[in-house]
Amino acid sequence: MAEIKLTARKRSGSGKGAARRSRADGKVPAVVYGHGMDPLPIEVDRREFVQALHTDAGLNVLLDMDIDGTNLLTLTKELQRDPLRGTVLHADFIQIDRNEEVQVEVPLHLVGHAPGADEGGVLQQPRGMLQVRCVVTRVPESIEADISGLNIGDALRIAELPASADYQILDDPDAVVASVAAPVSEEELEAMAAEAGIVEEEPEEGVAAEAEEGEAEAPEEGAPEEGREGAAAEETAGGS
């Protein structure tokens, strides 16, 4: 389990004004709580914090936080992000003990190659995260699911994933983590579209005919108009 040192300091003031000042100074306003301690407003360096989150552990990275000389082991509990830019606006940290159990989300990675995909089947992964419970220092960075035995119509369920002594998966054992669906034919696709009320609209005959006639009558770009050409010939004949 990744563990990273992070420097923080107590945050003076509260409310939106103080939070805005922290962000303007390149900090992320945050709060740390847990183990009976009162919520403590802090701020961490934005660049250092973002770099800490970009390990394979993601939000599950252990943060050895130095708050004005006091060391606390923490996990990131929640992040608030700007809905447009995605920048971190606020963070919640929870103090933990190295020997305690936690419940966290862990990424699920598919490994291997499904034979059914080579036969025209469609590989599907209905979930990308799993809920696990484990000692905080043994949180896996990811859980792998081997799909090398999946043919068309097969599914891999949580109960079929290899057991581990380091963690317990809390999700429904019957939940599907990967499957290979049969390809959909054109007839089935049209039937599904009809059932959903999706109808391909065709232009009306009169409108289509008028459009075609308009295109046929339109002179080519740069070609002289017949009326003007005839007038010019008559003027020439009359003047001769």
Strands across the sheet containing 101-111: 143-146, 101-111, 129-135, 167-169
Hey, what are 81's tokens?
């992000």
Question: Which domains are seen in the chain, by residue range?
Answer: 3-96 (2.40.240.10), 103-187 (2.170.120.20)
Alpha-carbon gap, residue 179 to 114, rounded angstroms: 9
Q: Are 98 and 120 in contact (CB under 8 A)?
A: no
**What pLDDT is recorded for position 203?**
55
Going from the first residue of the chain to its last (240 residues), give the mean pLDDT of each consecutive group of 10, the final group possibly shorter: 88 78 91 91 94 88 94 94 91 93 94 94 95 94 95 96 95 97 78 73 55 53 46 44
The residue among 156, 68, 144, 59 whose CA lies nearest residue 110 is 144
Q: Supply the pLDDT for residue 1.
A: 67
Residue 124 CB contacts under 8 Å (≥ 6 apart), including other chains: 178, 179, 180, 181
pLDDT at position 206: 55
The pTM score is 0.67
Task: Determine the pLDDT at residue 201.
Answer: 58
The H or E element that residue 209 is part of is: helix 205-217
For position 198, what pLDDT does the model report?
A: 72
